[in-house]
Amino acid sequence: MENILITGGAGFIGSNIVEAMLARGYRVFVIDDMSSGRRENLEEMGSNPRMSFIRGSILDRALLRELIRSNGISLVCHQAARPSVAKSVKDPIGTTEVNITGTVTLFHVAAECGCRRIVFASSSSVYGDTPELPKREDMSFSPQSPYAVSKAAKELYGDVFSRLYGIEVIGLRYFNVYGRRQDPGSDYAAVIPKFISRALAGEPLPIEGDGLQTRDFSYIDDVVEANISALTREDLSGGVFNIACGSRINVLDLAKLILSITGSRSPIAWLPPRPGDVRDSLADIGSARKHLGFEPAYDIRSGLAETVRWYLLSGTAGQRRKATVAG
């Protein structure tokens, strides 16, 4: 069984991948600078002797080199990033440093140390706001924010490293991932945890713009399975794949569905549109089906029901309370 390094492993997506790889018997090394990760995300796995946590940055070349070489790491799952479109608009330099310079540093060290494969997180934001739907991997980039530019740059570097440095680099374009361990308390919280936490507290659900903007939401378990396939399938050598449900819902209908599942009577609070936001998003997942064997197991209703249950049981959305969750 190969040893794997998971960057950003204390984050929402990363911690779920850590848990899944440990369950499959891998020796897992986690690196996270804790700028957005949380130690509690790894609490359930903390006693596992096959997991090691290192607090550090992907910008630290010496640390990465020592970590990979001394532990014989052959697989890298790269989830570390400065997230959020809004944060990138406020601080484009910080986003560029972590998402681009950090990624190139990791790619270079991994190739230098003889790693076999890197799977990294990209984003549907690279498509921008072009009207053609669904989005296909062969479409041109049209980023609308520094965050989206940084994800496009990661893909370009991934292609170059695959061709020039003898390492397999595979990108996964996530479409609006949600599920357990997603933090609703962040200033840059994604729409689903924000809606769920407010619905459970009886607070207004904030909608930016007219609420008719659409998204293709991906439940965390489906995203984890896509990463496992990309890390472990023998017949892959590179490329980028859309990872999504393959269907879309507008934000207003999403809010209504969450209110229905939680049984909440929270009102809607209307806010101005957000700068750099994409109007519509829908993925063509045919390539992921073909090459990764990817098949989403959750639609938006079943994924939301699982997510609400987790927030209630964990107390993440506030104090625990009894509630009936419609499946």
d(CA 1, CA 141): 37
267 burial (CB, 10 Å; 0-12 / 13-18 / 19+) is exposed
Q: Is the pTM of this model over 0.75?
A: yes
Helices (H), strands (E): how many in the chain?
11, 13
d(CA 320, CA 67): 40
Strand partners, 77: 6, 119
115-155 confidence digits (pLDDT tens):
999 999 999 999 998 899 999 999 999 999 999 999 999 99
Q: What angle do CA 125, 126, 127 make, to 5 degrees?
A: 90
Domains of the chain and CATH, by start? 3-174+220-243 (3.40.50.720)
- Catalytic residue, from 26, 147, 178, 311: name it: 147
125 contacts: CB under 8 Å, gap ≥ 6: 85, 143, 144, 145, 147, 148, 151, 278
For residue 316, the model assigns a pLDDT of 66
| 327 — pLDDT class (breaks 50, 70, 90) | very low
| Per-residue exposure over 227-261, b if at least 16 CB sit within 10 Å of its own CB, e if not | bbbbbbeeebebbbbbbbbbebbbbbebbebbbeb
d(CA 248, CA 244): 10
277-307 confidence digits (pLDDT tens):
789 999 999 999 999 999 999 999 999 999 9
Active site residue 174: no
Q: Are 321 and 255 in contact (CB under 8 A)?
A: no
194-241 confidence digits (pLDDT tens):
999 999 999 999 999 999 999 999 999 999 999 999 999 998 888 999
| Per-residue exposure over 178-208, b if at least 16 CB sit within 10 Å of its own CB, e if not | bbbbbbbeeeebbbbbbbbbbbbeeeebebb
For residue 274, the model assigns a pLDDT of 81
For residue 186, the model assigns a pLDDT of 74
Residue 161 dihedral angles phi and psi, to the nearest 5°: -65, -35
